[in-house]
Homo-oligomer: A and B are copies of this chain.
Amino acid sequence: MGGKNGREGNMPGIVPTRHLIRKMQFSAKSTGSVAPAMHRYEQLAAEWAEGIERGTLRPGERLPSVRQTCQARAVSPSTVFQAYAVLEERGWVEARPRSGYYVRARPSRPGPPPITPPPDTGPHPVAISELLVELLGSTRDAEVVPLGSAFPAPELFPFEALARCGARAMRRLKPAHITGALTAGDEGLREALRHRYAVQGVALHPEELIITHGAMEALNLCLQAVTQPGDVVVVESPAFYGALQALERLHLRALEVATHPQDGVDLTALETLLQRERVAACWFMTRFQNPLGALMPTERKQALVTLLARHGIPLIEDDVYGELYASAERPPPAKAFDGAGLVLHCSSFSKCLAPGYRVGWAAAGRFGATVARLKMMSSLSTSLPAQRAIADYLQQGGYDRHLRHLRHALAESQRRALAVIDESFPPGTHPTRPQGGYFLWLELPPQVNALALHQRALRHGISVAPGVLFSADARFTHHLRLNVGHPGDARLEPALRWLGAEVA
């Protein structure tokens, strides 16, 4: 898509472009108190969009040319180009080389990806949301349909095999090894992990790998290793709520950067931020970002690592969904391009093998010793039975077979969920169609209050994750994150239909 590259090239940047879309939506629902006055290019785009919606501009029809529009509306060519770009990104028009912009066929489903409203212009402290506690609490209730959950269905995991492996591995361990367990983690597990990295073409330094109490501890320790309270950390927009909470706990300030539902972090916007702000670190998910599901294309990952290395800024790569790719080939993590040791790659087994075991890790690059020291000081070591169970399981060689089954089940589950959503939700609903993971991010029609929907749904025995959880300023008001990683749950389809009917 030409517009995608254009956004990264000489255009005024993705931020104002997306900003416009949000304002259009805001003006549509008359929330004037939130929306600032519209720019000329925003008015123009909104006008054309309305023409397309009403059918006065029909599919295949050419938009008025730059010259025509400049004359008729007394605007500059750049205003017209900005208006074209907005509509192109929104999927309403397409550029034809040397010809102009044409109205696209009415977006038949699958529609365009959802719009992510622009982040704020400045960093700010994060406020903990009671809502999150309510949501996470509700998803533990087996009676509630777990569309708001953070985990795939437990039936997808080999718990029996893990329990057997754990018992065997613990019996084999000499007592001295138990109290002598290193802060860095069980050596068998570290060895197995290093091997998995090597297979992905990532050679780790022996000292940089530290086993942690889930990925959350890894991410927290890495954040502590590279920041001081008050520092600015760049996160995606929308961001994983856990990242926002971690920043809050460490008294850091979140700066959100525009993030594309398919391609991930906008590098142009990021570069602008890096020039404007003193940034201590970035925390990004390059593979199947939560909540968007975005997979950064390989060359963009490489460009990201290069950009950050040029600025000397560490990248905390939260990669807990990295194994859950739907494609035949495994896409590499940003860590694969880490020549400078600035990528702190964090992941866990919680989403792909052993939820509840709380075994994660950090491959912390040049910060390995610092992270190990922080780990020793704060939690000493990671729970040994869980580590040993997983190490033994990995040594048995069944992990890759399990992952193939899991990926297949999740991809199939996503396909079915999207089909139901496409059928049941009203026009103006835009779901992501990620290439991995098990989340969908839905942009609903702008008048929908997703928070109220979440509350109605919960009373109806359905949990969903409302979009307001995914930014520090409750920006995603008509967005939902849906967990579709429950292929065997017959309640999922009716729940999706119920939601669609509520939205309509």
Contacts and interface: CB of A to CB of B under 8 A. Distances in A.
Interface of A: 128, 132-133, 136, 140-142, 149, 151, 154-155, 157, 159-160, 162-164, 166-167, 170-171, 173, 175-176, 178-183, 213-214, 216-217, 220, 224, 229, 242, 245-246, 249, 251, 355-359, 373-374, 376-386, 389
Nearest to A230: B229
A170 B166 contact: yes
A357 B377 contact: no
A329 B420 CA distance: 66
17 contacts: A140-B181, A141-B180, A151-B179, A154-B175, A154-B179, A159-B173, A159-B175, A160-B171, A163-B170, A167-B167, A178-B355, A181-B356, A213-B213, A216-B379, A356-B383, A358-B383, A383-B385
Nearest 8 CB-CB pairings of A with B: A167-B167, A154-B175, A163-B170, A383-B383, A356-B384, A385-B385, A358-B383, A178-B356
Contacts of A141: 180
A140 B177 CA distance: 9
A244 to B, nearest CB: 10
Given A140-B182, A379-B216, A385-B383, A155 B167 contact: no
A226 to B, nearest CB: 14
A376 B136 contact: yes
A216 B382 CA distance: 12
Contact of A357 (B157, B163, B182, B384): B384
Contact of A380 (B170, B214, B377, B381): B214
Contacts of A214: 379-380
A383 B357 contact: yes
A175 B157 CA distance: 8
A174 to B, nearest CB: 8
A181 B167 CA distance: 20
A175 B142 CA distance: 11
Contact of A162 (B133, B136, B170, B229): B170
A377 B245 contact: yes
Given A170-B163, A383-B358, A386-B384, A220 B378 contact: yes
A178 B355 CA distance: 7
A255 B381 CA distance: 28
A251 B151 CA distance: 34
A171 B158 CA distance: 11
Contacts of A180: 140-142, 154
Contacts of A242: 377
Give the one of A178, A220, A229, A374 with max B CB within 10 A: A178
Given A229-B251, A249-B224, A175 B163 contact: no
Contacts of A359: 383
Given A383-B385, A386-B386, A170 B159 contact: yes
Contacts of A164: 167
Nearest to A142: B176
A131 to B, nearest CB: 12
